[in-house]
Homo-oligomer: A and B are copies of this chain.
Amino acid sequence: MTVPTFDDVLAAAGRISGVAHRTPVLRSRIVDDLVGARVFFKCENFQRAGVFKFRGAYNALVQLPQEQRRAGVVTSSSGNHAQALSLAARLLGIPATIVMPLDAPAVKVAATAGYGGDIVRYDRYAQDYAEIAHGLVAERGLTVIPPVEHPHVVAGQGTAAMELFEEVGELDALFVPVGGGGLFSGSVLSARAMAPDCRLHGVEPEAGDDGQRSLREGRRVTIDTPQTIADGAQTRFLDPLPFEILLRARPTMLTVTDDELVECMRLFAGYLKIVVEPTGCLGFAAVRRAADELRGQRVGVIISGGNVDLDRFAALVGT
C-alpha cells in the first residue's frame, strides 16, 4: 500500500472543495485564560455527517473508476465512518453497503440508513464480518472502503489540519485524537509540510493506549477492545498505514481519562457553546493536562466530531 504524502493531501483538498464543509476555527478568551495559552479549535463536529471522516470517505470514493462506482462500495462500521461513507456515496450516486452487527445501537443504524446506506445486519457472535464482506465483494463486485487503511482516506483526513494551518499560521503544538490513526497521520503529513517546528501530539483514552505503546515499542501493539466513553477511539490497534507515517514522524503520544473527557465536554458546551462527542474531547483534555508546558504558546486542537446521542450528552454535561 502506497504511503500518502502532503501532495496527496493537497490533491484531496482540491477534490473535496465545495463538497466538504470548510469548518470554522473557534477561540475562547475564557479557555485561553484557563489554559494560559492561545488555543485554536478546528471544529470538525461541524463537518458533514458530524465528523471529519467525510473528508477521507469522499476523497476515496471520488477517485474510483466508473466501473467500481457502478458496482458500489462496502464497509463495516457501526459508527462515524458508516455515516460519512453513506453520505459521500449518496452525493456521488454510488451504492453503499454497510455491514453492521445486529446489536448496533438503533440510533446509529437509523442515521446510516438516513444517509442512504444499504445496511446488511449480521450476528457478530455467530458470523464472521470478514466472511460476509468477502462474500459481498465476490458476489456483487463491491469495493471495500475501510475506515482508515487506505491512502486516499488518510490523505483526505489530512485536509482538516491543512485548513487549520492555512487559517491561523504556524503553531507551537497540535493535539489530535487517535483511534485507528487516520486523522492523526493525515494531520502529521500537513503539519510536517506547513509547520515543521510544530510539536505533534496524538491523544488516546487511557484505557486504549495501543498507539502510545506501538510507537514506544516500534511495532503495532494490539490490545483488547478498551472500555472508554470515547467510542471513536475504541480501537484495538493502529492501522499499518498510519503506523508507518507516525513511525517516521515520531510524534508524542498522550493519554487522558474518561473523567477528563467529560469535563472537556462541559467546558466546550459552557464556554464554546458547542456539542462535542467524547472522542472529540481527547485533544483538549491533553492540552489541559499539559498546560504548564504550553504557557503563552499557540496551540491547535482538532475536535474530531460531535456525534453523541442527545440524552447521553445531557446526562454527561448536566449534574
Contacts and interface: CB of A to CB of B under 8 A. Distances in A.
A269 B313 contact: yes
Interface string A152-195: 00000000000000000000000000000000000000000000
Contacts of A315: 314, 318
Interface string A281-319: 000000000000000000000000010001101110111
A249 interface: no
Interface string A19-54: 001001011011000000000000001101010000
A276 interface: yes
A248 interface: no
A273 B311 contact: no
Contact of A317 (B24, B29, B274, B314): B314
A57 interface: no
Contact of A274 (B48, B275, B311): B275
A10 B29 CA distance: 26
A196 interface: no
A45 B273 contact: yes
A21 B269 CA distance: 18
Contact of A273 (B46, B266, B317, B319): B46
Contacts of A311: 318-319
Interface in A257-276: 266, 269-270, 272-276
A280 to B, nearest CB: 9
Contacts of A48: 29
Nearest to A271: B50
Contacts of A306: 273
B276 A273 contact: yes
Contact of A275 (B29, B46, B275): B275
Interface in A191-211: none
B317 A50 contact: no
A58 B27 CA distance: 19
Nearest to A314: B318
Contacts of A50: 273
A24 to B, nearest CB: 4
Contacts of A313: 269, 314, 317-318
A310 B270 contact: yes
Contacts of A317: 310, 313-314
A220 B202 CA distance: 59
Contacts of A26: 24, 46
Interface of A: 21, 24, 26-27, 29-30, 45-46, 48, 50, 114, 266, 269-270, 272-276, 306, 310-311, 313-315, 317-319
12 contacts: A21-B27, A24-B26, A269-B275, A270-B275, A273-B274, A274-B274, A311-B318, A311-B319, A313-B314, A313-B317, A313-B318, A314-B318
Given A269-B310, A269-B313, A313-B314, 13 more contacts: A21-B27, A24-B24, A24-B26, A26-B46, A46-B272, A266-B310, A269-B275, A270-B275, A273-B274, A310-B319, A311-B319, A313-B318, A315-B318
